[in-house]
Amino acid sequence: MHFRTDRQRVQGLGTSHSGVHHWWSQRLTSIGVLILVPLFLFPFVRALGTDFETAREIYGHPFNAVVAILTFAVGFLHLQQGVQVVIEDYVHDKPVRTVMLVANVILCAAFAFTGIFAVAKIAFA
């Protein structure tokens, strides 16, 4: 560290080209899921294995619906960030890596919004 000038330290922002932004963002979503996961999990395991009406009654409740929507939003963002690091670490072929990184973003976003749509449809029914 002592051999580097201040300018060199910020120029290009390291191998990620974005400094610590991704790392910091991942800490924020991890705190998000830390709060959301317990709130999501307990109503969910109660709804699982019941009948159609009971499941819809549980997610017709605004608190459960909002928690489920936030969990899908923050959870899939956290998943996208985590899988991105795994791909960057293990996939060395540049074109394959790029395709996987793009697919990761698209799939995580698709599942997040599908989940949010489904919960909203139940809650607004």
Partner 1 sequence: MADVNRGNRPLSPFMIGSVYRPQITSVMSILHRITGCGVGLSAILVVWWFLAASSSPYYFDFADGLLTSWIGNLVLFLALVSLWYHFFNGIRHLIWDAGSGFALDQVRTSGIAAIVAAGVMSIVTVAIALWG
**Residues near partner 1 (CB under 8 A):** 27, 30-31, 33-34, 37, 41-42, 44-52, 55-56, 59, 68, 72, 75-76, 79, 82-83, 86, 111, 114-115, 117-119, 121-122, 125
Q: Which is nearer to partner 1, 70 or 119 (CB)?
A: 119
CB of 44 to partner 1, least distance (A): 7
Neighbours of 42 (CB within 10 A): 12
Give the nearest distance from C-beta 52 to partner 1 in angstroms.
Answer: 4
Distance CA 39, CA 89 (A): 32
C-beta closer to partner 1: residue 89 or 93: 89
Spatial distance between the Cα atoms of 17 and 54, rounded to a whole number of angstroms: 50
Please state the separation of Cα 111 from the chain's center in Å.
10
Spatial separation of the C-alpha atoms in residues 41 and 47, rounded to whole Å: 10
Min CB(111)–partner 1 separation in Å: 5
Return the number of the residue (3 or 48) whose C-beta is nearest partner 1.
Answer: 48
Query: Can you tell me the distance from the alpha carbon of 42 to that of 103, in angstroms, rounded to the nearest whole number?
Result: 31
Q: At its nearest, how many Å lie between partner 1 and the CB of residue 15?
A: 19
Coil vs helix vs strand at 6 = helix
Cβ distance to partner 1 smaller for residue 12 or 102 = 102
